[in-house]
Chain A
């Protein structure tokens, strides 16, 4: 979206499990209103630290993500709307 382009950014669904990252932008238009609302309630926002922890056994979907002090599960297609910058290891 309008976030500055970083070559090393990925969408959250493509981030390796256990890799900490920072949210750069969220494509809110791609989400339904209730879904966008729920993501915000979970604390997803620009600048927030996230870390994918687990993924489902079938098709690695959904993904469990640590956001703040919570762990939340979302589907891959929703995670794909979230662009993150992985922290340098």
Chain B
């Protein structure tokens, strides 16, 4: 059987390529990586009008066939049939921003020279009109020598015409591509301007919308205030709106675990399903609502064109730490969860900037740390108030956030001068025109990311939690023995204990550290379990847990435990997503290593300072 015809979609960044791709393929998209590079490969199915299916692949946005970034190199290699993991496309769909023809046509001319069966989608004609620009697609067709269809991808306009034209193109015979010869950029640019001029019917100068909005949103004083306000709303949403669905999921997990307990006879299998798989994966998918809300905001900010402005406003500050303005949103997202934060680093085109951002993202205080912080603060920090609304407990919590941020900036600073030495990638970005994104594009983006997240939870996280469960449950304790002493995990904990005793950690903490690798907040339930399992009663209520902690842990130990959690990379999902985003084990291992080292030093310093101060 012949493989499906492959149509490549190419265009400059901000030409509306992804929206057009979504309009043509719908929600069933496959997202993966090209082998050996962290460049996303996105493909989908398109049904031609005669019922034949075709595969559409969305190439990374590029300004030219002479690559200035790894993304652009992939685009070139796919088009000339040299990319690993991709066959030579049978046809090419070029997406042009109608209001930016003199620039985008240069790339289009290079692409047409390749000799593939080619057609052009003249996209965003509505925005061009808004700017007072009337174009003549027929003139463009004459000059370029390929079919040109007007489209407004976000509004799904012109999509049917485009599909029909793709049909015609795939039916025509085709006889191989030319090797790409390095083009004369100056000549191409000149030719692009000529064609652009020929294609313009009329141009009425109007005050451009984008310029007016930018005067406010990029204003030196108003701009940062508006950015702070947007971020405030975003975080309110992530933490407040998510409560209801988080409770639903927690209830669902509880129901499932109850049902499984009833359905499976008591024994090792039940324990594995209930305490291992359901408890572990449940703990992680509880974060799904927060992650979705966060992604909704990221997609919205990206779709409207505001994201680049946020990077613009923050670039100078981020630059001081050796990062780029583009690192701002990923790092901010990491306050909710490092996983979407690390996934969002794909917008950083400089590889070293991107890696540095990934490596420090786990230092942002994510929501999984909150249960741990809340428990320890409630147990050990006196509820004293200094002024109305300002209490000691809140100050400690705030302090932990600040330590995390400072740690991230210092780590970035050190990393950019150490392992990732080299000039930072600078900051060169196009500020796209503002536009309203379509609901469908946002939904498709959310679905794609949810699928990636659940696939993680379903594979790596499920596997790890079962292993962790096995370590904690095998061998079974005989009557009179403590499960936490006899299990493999117990023995490992004893090993861990010798390492962490110098920083003030006791046996209970050592026991909690291992299961907390699945997700940080599991430390809370793990500590609870240690006390309840050993006490033999089933549900140690929160109150008795607080009492146990106050009774069992000296204050320096508790403070050291807090300091540990500021830095420790106790999160399988983060490690897994880092492996995926860096395409190998080198960087996740480095990250785990340096963060554990920092955690150890921070906890040790805290412990011994507290001891010396006589706390």
Contact = CB atoms under 8 A, between A and B. Distances in A.
A41 to B, nearest CB: 3
Interface string B309-327: 0001101110100000100
A22 interface: no
Contact of B99 (A53, A69, A73): A69
Interface in B417-445: 423, 425-431
Nearest to B423: A32
B68 A64 contact: no
Contacts, number: 103
A9 interface: no
Nearest to A36: B68
Nearest to B218: A54
A64 B218 contact: yes
A72 B312 CA distance: 10
Interface string A56-76: 111111101000111111110
Contacts of A60: 220
B316 A58 contact: yes
Given A37-B66, A69-B103, A57 B428 contact: no
A40 to B, nearest CB: 6
Nearest to A39: B428
A61 B315 contact: yes
Given A45-B186, A75-B427, A78-B426, A70 B315 contact: no
B214 A38 contact: no
Interface in B290-343: 308, 312-313, 315-317, 319, 325
B29 interface: no
Chain B interface helix/strand/loop/mixed: helix
Contacts of B312: 54, 56, 62, 64, 73
B167 interface: no
Nearest to A40: B185
Interface in B216-236: 218, 220-221, 223-224
Given A38-B68, A43-B189, A45-B189, A70 B316 contact: no
A32 B431 CA distance: 22
B220 A55 contact: yes
A19 B185 CA distance: 28
B338 to A, nearest CB: 26
B63 A41 contact: yes
A58 to B, nearest CB: 4
A72 B223 contact: no
24 contacts: A32-B426, A35-B68, A37-B67, A37-B68, A41-B103, A42-B63, A43-B189, A53-B211, A54-B312, A56-B220, A56-B312, A57-B224, A57-B316, A58-B316, A59-B316, A61-B315, A61-B316, A61-B319, A62-B312, A62-B315, A69-B101, A72-B431, A75-B427, A78-B426
Counting from the closest, the 8 A-B pairs by CB-CB distance are A41-B63, A58-B316, A37-B68, A54-B218, A71-B431, A57-B220, A34-B68, A38-B428
Interface of A: 32, 34-35, 37-43, 45, 53-62, 64, 68-75, 78
